[in-house]
Amino acid sequence: MRTVVLTGPGSIAVESRPEPRIIEPTDAILRVTASCICGSDLWPYRGIEPVTQPRGMGHEYVGIVEEVGSQVQTVRPGEFVVGSFFASDNTCPTCRAGYQSSCVQRQAAAPDGAQAERVRITLADGTLVATPGMPAPDLIPSLLAASDVLGTGWFAAVAAEAGPGKTVAVVGDGAVGLLGVLAARELGADRIIAMSRHTDRQALARDFGATDIVEARGDAGVEAIKDLTDGLGAHSVIEAVGTQEAMQQALRSTRPGGHLGFVGVAHDVNLSGEELFFSHVHVHGGPAPVRRFLPDLIDRIWTRQIDPGRVFDLELPLERAAEGYAAMDERRAIKVLLRAE
Ligand SMILES: [Zn+2]
């Protein structure tokens, strides 16, 4: 079967690999309908995370169950399923508290990479959620978005306590930031400020519910947020980048007593303890427990209340994955969907 492999910085190949097999009795094998390229895939692609050996890529997937291990009970061959990047048992105390991405059995859900024709998923019972039936083709991008970027944006909005009466600011106009805007709207926020310099992304942010756009960044961005919030800062701030500048901007844009939800994978972020101490900001984030939100998100997509699949602005067959990586790296595409069949 064909699978996307990172062979070195900036180098993506599509190679033939052996078909995945059930290894653990808790595994499932999916025939992948679609997968996608994540902003976090760009860190190793750019060589910021070292690549020591060829590596199967991808951790976002939807597909049809082909085979399950002997202990799998909740999903059956033939079902269409959505899963997330970390596998979880969904039964341990951490999972039951809603933090499946810190499950005591946490492991990669697709250890060999999901940008492939078939994928082995670990801890299938706790990780995969079946849809009510076979999805209409136009629902597939949105269901795929639920597997990571929607679930992550949603978690950020929940961590930032977005809701009625709140002004929400969103730092980052990638897919997660844009879907953080959508999540804030769905959670009932009064006002949503999207921070973006790209007109196409600004337009999508407005469609997803942004009421204001701020183009300034850094200290000027913080000032712009304060100007829009009586000098106080936003009640709720979503950080969806993971850099020092973005995190600092997010923290400083949050009013005292407010909440910062951060979901950009942190790279070389160092916050001052003193600044945190005096900020009076609730800071909560990390790898999103997407599994917590999946049943609700699938329902909202299935009933067409939300259309998060609009973040995909480039769709390619799996064989052309290298073009997709280049487009995302050069920010020509917000998010790239890879059709596996
Ligand atoms: Zn668990």
Q: Which of 45, 65, 18, 109 is nearest to 321 (CA)?
A: 45
Spatial separation of the C-alpha atoms in residues 141 and 214, rounded to whole Å: 28
pLDDT of residue 152: 97
Distance between Cα 51 and ligand 1 center (Å): 29
281 and 333 assigned to the same domain: no
pTM: 0.96
Query: The domain spanning residue 227 has which CATH number?
Result: 3.40.50.720
pLDDT of residue 51: 82
pLDDT of residue 43: 86
pLDDT of residue 267: 87
Spatial separation of the C-alpha atoms in residues 316 and 192, rounded to whole Å: 32
Mean pLDDT of 273-292: 97
Distance from CA of residue 250 to its chain's centroid? Answer: 18
pLDDT of residue 40: 84
Distance between Cα 290 and ligand 1 center (Å): 13
Task: Give per-residue pLDDT as tens, 171-225.
Answer: 999 999 999 999 999 999 999 999 999 999 999 999 999 999 999 999 999 999 9
Alpha helices, H only, 16-110: 42-45, 93-96
164 and 129 assigned to the same domain: no
Beta bridge partners of 171: 195, 239
Domain range for residue 76? 2-148+289-339
Average pLDDT along the chain: 96
The answer to whether 234 and 259 are in contact (CB under 8 A) is no
197 and 98 assigned to the same domain: no
Distance between Cα 126 and ligand 1 center (Å): 8
234 and 307 assigned to the same domain: no
Distance between Cα 92 and ligand 1 center (Å): 4
Mean pLDDT of 82-93: 96
Instruction: Read off φ and ψ for residue 291, nearest 5 degrees.
Output: -55, -35
Question: CB-based burial of residue 74 (10 Å sphere; 0-12 exposed, 13-18 middle, 19+ buried)?
Answer: middle
Q: Which of 145, 209, 201, 157 is nearest to 182 (CA)?
A: 209
Distance between Cα 32 and ligand 1 center (Å): 25
pLDDT band at 327 (very low <50, low <70, confident <90, very high): very high
Distance between Cα 312 and ligand 1 center (Å): 31
CB atoms within 10 A of CB 131: 18
Structure tokens at 247: 């995190």
212 and 243 assigned to the same domain: yes
Residue 75 has pLDDT above 90, yes or no: yes
Question: CB-based burial of residue 330 (10 Å sphere; 0-12 exposed, 13-18 middle, 19+ buried)?
Answer: exposed
> Number of helices (H) and strands (E), helices first, in the chain?
12, 18
Q: Which of 123, 122, 1, 129 is nearest to 56 (CA)?
A: 1
